[in-house]
Amino acid sequence: MRRYFVTGLLIWVPLAITAWVLSLIVGTMDQSLRLLPAAFHPKNALGVDLPGVGAVLTLLIIFVTGVLAANFIGQHLVVWWERLLARIPVVNSIYKSVKQVSDTLFSPSGNAFRQALLVQYPREGAWTIAFLTGQPGGDVANHLTGDYVSVYVPTTPNPTSGFFLMLPKQDVVELDMSVDEALKYIISMGVVAPPAKPRPVANT
């Protein structure tokens, strides 16, 4: 009896969590319908509430924004908009911080989460997975002797929270593991391990 119940849980729990996450995302994106006049809402226009219409509208807005910002006129509008925000004290500091993070995370030339690492944390002898985020900069680099790297150590099972560390490069181990594989390994608390890859045989 217990075996059958656990087997059922293993089937339904991932499906339920997946459906819940998708429902949360779609529900949040559906809020973009508030940008439209009430007469254009599916419930008022068709008499039926259609979930997901706002999600499609959100994706369309993002795509059109990207198209407009990619051309010459759009780039000048973006510069003008950023200059306008720069004149607002509180908004300026928040916008700049968020933009720097988003540029680092989503830019193809960014260094965020480009390499999975093995580091000793929170003490020597205890190992965990981290992600390379770059190198120390600013005045911090002036106080570090030697070659250092910046790493992000995510928590389990929620990798969106974690710790930012600056470690000597010689103390980190680069893993032959993709970022996606490392994230699955972390979220599953070590249960879903990536397939082992054979080490290259050294020539003698």
Could you read off the pLDDT of 4-32 as tens digits, one per residue? 787 888 788 878 888 887 888 777 877 77
Could you read off the pLDDT of 141-174 as tens digits, one per residue? 899 999 999 999 998 877 778 899 999 999 999 9
Could you read off the pLDDT of 114-130 as tens digits, one per residue? 789 999 999 999 999 99
Cα 193 to Cα 7, 37, 178, 186, 197: the distances in Å are 20, 50, 12, 9, 12
pTM of the model: 0.55
